[in-house]
Amino acid sequence: MGQHGAITNWSQYVAARTVALLLGLFPMDASLGAARALGSLIWKLDRKHRRRAIDNLRASFPEKSDAEIAQLGEKSMQNLLEFIMDTLFTPRTIHIETWHKHVHFHNLSEPLRFILRRRGAIMLTAHYGNFEILGYAMATMGFRTFSVARPIDNPLVDQWILGVRERKGQVILSKRGVTTTAQEVLEGQGVLGFIADQNAGPKGMFVPFFGRPASAYKTLGLLAIQYRVPILIGYARRRGGQFEFDVGVQDLIEPEDWEKVRDEGGDELRYVTERWNKAIEDFVRADPSQYWWVHRRWKSRPKGEAPEAYD
């Protein structure tokens, strides 16, 4: 890294820590309100991401009016800014004595039985609500989880955020070289978490997502099949504008499910990949305003189909 790069990294880090310190001086409700206001401002000013979100929403919900699409898009941007604000408050708010005031669990009895049996499991979620709360809450309750995440480009900011994420015992694995690490976790009957709704590129498996083919990672299904571990598809949905979340499991895919498909001559990997994408779609539909529609989920297209028209 050159001197210019080092100066830029330190400047960004100091600015981020300063903003975090200042915002931390205000009550949580006021800070979340400020985040929503900033999200609305960015929605009005950032034409590129506004257009991308509107295009994605319009294609996913053709039955909605332009006004409804715009409202969902603005709320989605607000949620993204609220998520950033949550990062500041999570370590000081989620503790063993207080987590039940902020996190409300749904449909977790069967998934927790799998985890407590130490059979190993893969947990998938999406850029929706506050996905960080899933791993953080489980770690607070004593469940050791391993989550795969892409490092932030600025190493100083990355190290700071990493410290927040791992404070309660959650282990964050870099996506670089994750295959070997993922194998070690599953061989040890651990719980391995992924944010699974990112574009997997032209070599991914194209499966339906909101009525359009989307490139999904094959690795997730291959790992589950190889190590014969269940796949849990979960969410953390914000309640209103507060630091309060409904955390639940939308679907649980057990080895017996895909083995039945294989025995009947079907494609077990396609079955698993389509099913976890459908589970993500289902919980997003429950409140579309909490999904990050600015993501280029449909960036890669099947062979012969024109690419997206915008950057």
pLDDT one-digit tens code per residue, 64-109: 999 999 999 999 999 988 888 887 777 777 777 787 888 888 877 7
The pLDDT of residue 184 is 80
Higher confidence at residue 30 or residue 135? 30
Least confidently predicted of 36-45, 96-105, 178-187, 222-231: 178-187
Work out how many domains the chain is built from and give that number.
1
Least confidently predicted of 10-14, 36-40, 113-117, 218-222: 113-117
Whether residue 199 is contained in a domain is answered as: yes
Higher confidence at residue 144 or residue 190? 190
Higher confidence at residue 118 or residue 211? 211
The pLDDT of residue 258 is 98
pLDDT tops 90 at residue 28? no
The pLDDT of residue 161 is 58
Whether residue 311 is contained in a domain is answered as: no
The pLDDT of residue 10 is 79
> HSE-up of 304 (CA within 13 Å, CB side)?
1
The pLDDT of residue 174 is 61
Whether residue 310 is contained in a domain is answered as: no
Whether residue 101 is contained in a domain is answered as: yes
Mean pLDDT over each residue of the chain, to the nearest integer: 83
Place 155 in a pLDDT band, splitting at 50, 70 and 90. Answer: low
Contacts of 237 (CB under 8 A, 6+ apart): 128, 129, 245, 246, 247, 248, 283, 286, 287, 290
With beta carbons less than 8 A apart as the criterion, state whether 106 and 247 touch.
yes
DSSP state of 291: B
The pLDDT of residue 182 is 75
Q: Is 220 helix (H, G, I), strand (E, B) or coil?
A: helix
Using a pLDDT cut of 90, give the percent of the chain over it: 48
Whether residue 191 is contained in a domain is answered as: yes
Domain carrying residue 89: 3-290
Whether residue 52 is contained in a domain is answered as: yes
Q: E-strand spans in the chain?
A: 103-106, 121-125, 145-149, 171-174, 191-195, 205-209, 212-216, 231-238, 245-253
pLDDT tops 50 at residue 310? no
pLDDT tops 60 at residue 164? no
The pLDDT of residue 173 is 65
pLDDT tops 70 at residue 172? no
pLDDT tops 90 at residue 129? yes
Whether residue 300 is contained in a domain is answered as: no
pLDDT tops 70 at residue 61? yes
Place 307 in a pLDDT band, splitting at 50, 70 and 90. Answer: low
DSSP one-letter string for 68-135: HHHHHHHHHHHHHHHHHHHHHHHHHH--TTTHHHHEEEES-HHHHHHHHTT--EEEEE-SBS-THHHH
Q: Once rounded to an integer, what is the mean pLDDT over residues 17-30? A: 72
pTM, rounded to two decimals:
0.86
pLDDT tops 90 at residue 242? no
- Which tokens hold the place of 197? 């709704």
Whether residue 299 is contained in a domain is answered as: no
Least confidently predicted of 29-33, 128-132, 166-170, 294-298: 166-170
The pLDDT of residue 126 is 94
CATH number where 186 lies: 3.40.1130
Rg of the chain (C-alpha set) = 20
Ranges 64-68, 81-85, 191-195, 199-203, most confident: 64-68
pLDDT tens, position by position, 256-301: 999 999 999 999 999 999 999 999 999 999 999 999 999 999 999 9
Q: Report d(CA 192, CA 122) in Å as an integer.
A: 5
